[in-house]
Amino acid sequence: MAELRWNPLLRTWTMVASNRQARPHLPKDWCPFCPGSGKVPEQYDVFAYDNDFPALSQTPGLPDEVTGGPYRTAENYGKCEVILYSPDHTSSLSALPVAHIEKLLTLLAERQAALSQDPKIKYIFPFENRGEEVGVTMPHPHGQIYAYSFVPQKIQVELDSCREYHAKEKRCLLCDMNREEKRFAQRIVAENENFLAYLPFFTDYPYGVFIVSKKHKGDLTQFDAQEKKDLARILKCVTAAFDKLFGRPFPYMMCLHQTPVNCAEDENADAYYHFHIEFYPPLREAKKIKFYASSEMGAWAACNPHAVEETVEALRNACAAVQEEAEEKS
């Protein structure tokens, strides 16, 4: 069973993907993403790989006939891809050279452009889950892309908020967030010519960094070579700082938020929406997890156990140490 089911209470789609239960338990000494597995090229640096157990498909089956009353279904149209960061099974985003991360960003931009050619695709969402704490079972460094036939609810709320703010203030909300974070300065973690990394005033995770383009651009395809290099640099800096923070591999969810595609409702999103990356790292201390409990999940009433002004200094110092080490090696 694979389909979309409409949630009439929240007015959004739930993906049903029973096929993902058939994912095998892989032998500990074999990885499908490593060269020699027979699943990927014998040589690659970065590689886009069709998910073997996708939640979405460009050749979907018919939804089950289980609807009635307020319930409805739709075909689970879309695409799920795995983005392999490196052939090195033990590497990580933070360990990759900046030039290699640039190749990764170029691949993501290429997939963004290609997937947007499908008129049924409305939103393209690159992301990475890292660490057992967020459910990762495949340690080989990789991210994923979900290309949806609908705009996911959280993204739609952001879009609606940005549209309303732009209509009222005649300015981009994320541009104004950047300006306020620059003015206040104390929540900034790292910065270069084209990107800011900061713990936003409102984030619900103690180390919930946002990386935001300084220029008002909507998606990865709009960045030039220098912007991709600067994005690669700040990604490496932030993820390496995470690892340095508690002296251990740092788990996180990393989500790239971009403008929709082929979406009449938000066809002017480039005017009011703005590329950014949101991190959701579950650690609040080296061995303590910030769980999303009943208030967060049941009421969407987020609670951060620390004001970000309390946690930013340690992360900023870790970023500075990472940058200093990089300069010493260069």
285 to each of 1, 81, 131, 198, 247, how far by Cα in Å? Answer: 40, 33, 15, 19, 11
Distance from C-alpha of 264 to C-alpha of 150, rounded to nearest angstrom: 11
pLDDT of res. 242: 97
CATH value at residue 145: 3.30.428.10
pLDDT of res. 82: 97
pLDDT of res. 178: 98
How many separate domains does the chain show?
Answer: 1
pTM equals: 0.95
Question: DSSP letter string over 214-237?
Answer: SS---SGGG--HHHHHHHHHHHHH
Q: Pick the catalytic residue from 25, 100, 140, 142.
A: 142
Residue 241 lies in a domain: yes
Give, as one character, the DSSP assignment of residue 287.
T
Residue 25 lies in a domain: no
Could you tell me the mean pLDDT of each successive run of 10 residues in the chain, 330 residues long? 92 85 66 94 96 94 91 96 97 97 98 98 98 92 98 97 98 98 98 98 97 98 98 98 96 98 95 98 93 92 95 96 86
* Domain around 317: 2-19+30-329
Around Cβ 116, how many Cβ atoms within 10 Å? 18
Collapsed DSSP state (helix, strand, coil) of residue 202: coil
Residue 24 lies in a domain: no
8 A C-beta contact, residue 176 and residue 168? no
Residue 321 lies in a domain: yes
Residue 115 lies in a domain: yes
For the question of residue 89 being annotated catalytic, the response is no
- Smallest CA-to-CA distance from 33 within 143, 170, 167 is with 143
- Smallest CA-to-CA distance from 209 within 240, 187, 231 is with 187
Paired residues of 50 in beta bridges: 81
